[in-house]
Structure 1
Amino acid sequence: MTPYALTVDAGTGDLRAADHLLHAMAAGLALPEGTFGCTHLVRGDRPRVAVSLSLPSRPLLDTLRERLTAAGYGAVTPGLPDAVGRAVLYPGATALTGTMTVAELLASSAIDRVTVLGTPEPPGPETRMVTRDHVRPQWQRDGLVLAATPAMGGTLVPFEAPDPTPCCADH
């Protein structure tokens, strides 16, 4: 991730709304190639989800800060709120659709590695990944890491489901 980053706190209450906010920013502000847009959980008296935008250069950052403030997206502050953002916008994200191999996923995106929950070894490059068109890696020690889980037929799926069932939905 680049050192040129801004945090936007729009008081967003959940991850889905924060994802939509990032996509709206990308569309409305014509964010440049190489932009990373992440969600960050903010704890404390008023739990919420802030978003960050990391850009490839300082001049772009200054321009974006002015545009975000003028558009009224929320409180804009310099830097990142933490180092473990959940990436929504990143190079190659839109290409991660359908089923592809782990090697294809890594080659076509900014994701650095894939881990499989419950296993010590990374998946083989030919392992098939069913993306469900929803791939949300997280920053871990300066690398973008996608957590996956085993699925039917020897495939993998990203750990985060696109439409999760709310806790206690059947009560």
Structure 2
Amino acid sequence: MTSPYDPSGVRPVIGVDAGTATLREADHLIHGLLGRLAPTADVFACTHLHRTDERRGTTVSLAVADTDADAVWQELVTTLPEGAGLALADRTHGPAAAVDGARLAAAAPPDSGRAVVYPGVRHLTGTVTAADLLDRTAIERLVVMGAPAAELPPATEVMTQDHVRPEWRAGVLTLTLVPAAGGLLAPFEVPNPTPCCADHA
């Protein structure tokens, strides 16, 4: 599946700083926002950790289709709580400190970020194969912790636990896997303490 950050398909990225402190809070924010926004095309929604003297928490980026950008922006302006910051190219909204966080989030993909929502994520329930991960979703690379150069056979089984959070690494959406029970593999990030917002699925 083609990444939206290929030169032929770059998308606008909206940065959001709503004061979320943890990955769990940011995941809930993403699912809540997308449930209300209902964009017409696939979205990449990522979390970004910030650890500075001024800001310790998690921001969000939403990569949307050009045709959705204005509508999503307007909806975010009206639905996000007071004090939240937004950034989209030269447009900003909110207090200066929150806008600074939103700008960092908007500038992060595809060099960094943890993807919560991305094309094909709904297919990733139960146990799937390595081929499913690469062919049916936007995930482009699978890495096994401790054996980064290993080539996984397409039929390799991966226990998703309904919680698959790949990361952007130098423009490539990459999923890190670890050995799991029964000779299977599983995503490095486990559902606890950042469960998958099942009520929003």
Same fold (TM over 0.5): yes
User: Alignment partner of 2:173: what SS?
Assistant: strand
Point out 4+ residue stretches in structure 1 off by more than 6 angstroms.
Answer: none
- 1:148 maps to what in 2? 177
After TM superposition, list the pairs within 5 Å mapping 1:63-102 onto structure 2.
63-73=71-81, 74-78=84-88, 80-82=106-108, 83-102=111-130
1:62-115 Cα distance to aligned partner (Å, 9 max, x none):
221111011125211125242211000101111100001100121111111111
Conserved? CA contact 1:136–1:160, under 8 Å: yes
Measure, in 1, the Cα distance between the counterparts of 2:146 and 2:115.
22
User: Alignment partner of 2:131: what SS?
Assistant: helix
Measure, in 1, the Cα distance between the counterparts of 2:120 and 2:18.
26
Q: For 2:138, which of 110, 126, 132 is the aligned residue? A: 110
Cα RMSD over matched residues? 1.5
The answer on 1:15 being equivalent to 2:23 is: yes
Conserved? CA contact 2:15–2:61, under 8 Å: yes
- 2:93 maps to what in 1? none
Opposite residue 113 of structure 2, the aligned amino acid is: G
Measure, in 2, the Cα distance between the counterparts of 1:72 and 1:134.
26
Percent of paired sites with the same residue: 42
Opposite residue 129 of structure 2, the aligned amino acid is: T
Q: What runs of 5+ residues in structure 1 fail to find an aligned partner?
A: 166-171
Opposite residue 121 of structure 2, the aligned amino acid is: A
Q: For 1:40, which of 37, 43, 48 is the aligned residue? A: 48
Conserved? CA contact 1:4–1:61, under 8 Å: yes
Conserved? CA contact 1:33–1:91, under 8 Å: no
Conserved? CA contact 1:11–1:48, under 8 Å: yes
Is the helix fraction higher in 1 or 2? Answer: 2
- 2:35 maps to what in 1? 27
Task: Report the CA distance between 1:134 and its aligned residue.
Answer: 0.1
- 2:159 maps to what in 1? 130
User: Alignment partner of 1:126: what SS?
Assistant: coil
Task: Report the CA distance between 1:11 and its aligned residue.
Answer: 0.6
Measure, in 2, the Cα distance between the counterparts of 1:125 and 1:7.
35
Conserved? CA contact 1:40–1:81, under 8 Å: no
- 1:158 maps to what in 2? 187
